[in-house]
Homo-oligomer: A and B are copies of this chain.
Amino acid sequence: MRVAIIGAAGMLGHKLALRLARDGVIGKAKISALLRHDVVLAPPPPAAGFAVETHLGDLSDTGEAEKLVAWKPDLIFHLAAIVSGEAEADFEKGYRVNLDGTRNLLEAIRKAAANPVPRLVFTSSIAVFGAPFPDAIGDEFLTAPLTSYGTQKAICELLISDYSRKGFVDGMSLRMPTVCVRPGKPNKAASGFFSNIIREPLNGMEAVLPVDDTVRHWHASPRAAVGFLVQAAEMGGAALGNRRALTLPGLSCTVAEQIAALERIAGKKVTALIKRQPDDTIRRIVSGWPQNFNAKRARDLGFSSENTFDEIIMAHVEDELGGKLP
């Protein structure tokens, strides 16, 4: 099985490559080659029992999607995107990369007409939803995004369902919870603080909390997110019928509950590093975000993630800090 990861230089893309290198298989299918694709250079390739190629390119450039499809992937993970804050600030760039890039990929796949068609696992987002919300957003709730990023993701979901229905691709769109604790440096996502207030204090650094403690949000660890991608790839899109977009399980908790978990795990000295600096812009953005879901469909399909924020913190401590607490 030939596997391509688009957006391989990103946090999730790199973790996925490491996981595939470790496993060597997708379900029962042995991986024979891995293509890592991104606009920027990915980290050094993982040691793997199969060939790993790394291509630089932008799917929104003419001919780039065709080149990728000519590599004949059996399975494509498409994780590449301009993040929410940047897509909101640069309208044209957001549509070009997040919409046109994905559409170019779908068109290249359709025109190549491989038999069987490749499987496509696309990372969508809970940003496809916009307030007002019910207490828990169910699987039949409308997508009414309040950002251009969410709009672009919702449009890609519709395209992937239609291309799959027509038999041009075997696609799935996974609506990821906010990935927390996100390792490394902050990116331009307005959701960054959910991770910053855990990661930075665990590193002995201060972190800014720009919203109220009562803010509730929907989280899963990077480890769970990679697990979702692999599980979806094994399962295939047919299990989703004609509705190829799937809201994944997550943990609904408040910022106060995040901080309480951090205190239980690492003590008051660590949580004292969280500095409350309310930011009205971020407060306003976050007030339009989903807080809780009933991800019944995904749970029925066997997807699961952390049940407590303590587990989410411990996944970070194990995977990023070598199991060591400060």
Asked whether, in the complex, the Cβ of A145 is within 8 Å of the Cβ of B162, the reply is yes
Q: Which of B110, B139, B140, B143 contacts A158 (CB 8 A)?
A: B143
Cβ–Cβ contact A242 & B130, under 8 A: yes
- Which of A147-155, A258-266, A278-286 has 4 or more CB atoms under 8 Å from chain B? A147-155
Verify if A19 is at the interface (C-beta below 8 Å from B): no
Q: Which residues of B contact A148 (CB under 8 A)?
A: 162, 166
Find the residue from A139, A143, A162, A243 having the highest chain B CB count within 10 A.
Answer: A162
**Contact assessment for B141 and A151 in the assembled complex, using a CB-CB cutoff below 8 Å:** no
Say yes or no for A1: interface residue by CB 8 A criterion: no
The CA-CA distance from A162 to B140 in the complex, in Å, is: 21
B130 touching A144 by the CB < 8 A rule?
A: no
A142 within 8 A of B: yes
A161 within 8 A of B: yes
| Nearest neighbor of A133 in chain B, beta-carbon distance | B140
> How many copies of the shown chain assemble into the complex?
2
Provide the bound-state CA to CA distance between A242 and B148, in Å: 12
Question: Would you call A159 an interface residue if the criterion is a C-beta within 8 Å of the partner chain's C-beta atoms?
Answer: yes
| Contact across chains for B141 and A140 when beta carbons are under 8 A apart | yes
A159 and B151 contact, Cβ closer than 8 Å, known pairs A144-B243, A242-B130, A242-B144:
yes
- A206 → B minimal CB distance (Å): 35
Known pairs A140-B141, A146-B242, A166-B91; A158 contacts B155 (CB<8 A) = yes
Give the residue of B91, B134, B142 whose beta carbon is less than 8 angstroms from that of A142. B142
Say yes or no: is A93 at the interface (Cβ < 8 Å to chain B).
no
Report the minimum CB–CB distance from A97 to chain B (whole Å).
Answer: 15
Q: How far is the CA of A141 from the CA of B151 in the complex (A)?
A: 17
Q: Is the CB of B140 within 8 A of A142?
A: yes
Q: B-facing mask of A290-308, CB < 8 A → 1, else 0?
A: 0000000000000000000
A143 touches B143 (CB 8 A): yes
A159 to B158, CA, bound (A): 12
Residues from chain B with a CB closer than 8 A to the CB of A141 are 140, 142
The distance from the CB of A299 to the nearest CB of chain B, in whole angstroms, is 18
In the bound complex, what is the Cα–Cα distance between A146 and B166 (angstroms)? 10
Sample 24 A-B pairs with CB under 8 A, ordered by A number: A130-B242, A130-B243, A134-B140, A139-B142, A140-B142, A142-B142, A142-B143, A142-B243, A143-B143, A143-B158, A144-B243, A145-B162, A146-B165, A146-B242, A148-B162, A148-B166, A151-B158, A151-B159, A151-B161, A151-B162, A155-B155, A155-B158, A155-B159, A158-B158
Which 6 pairs from chain A and chain B are nearest by CB? Answer: A151-B162, A144-B243, A155-B155, A140-B142, A151-B158, A142-B142
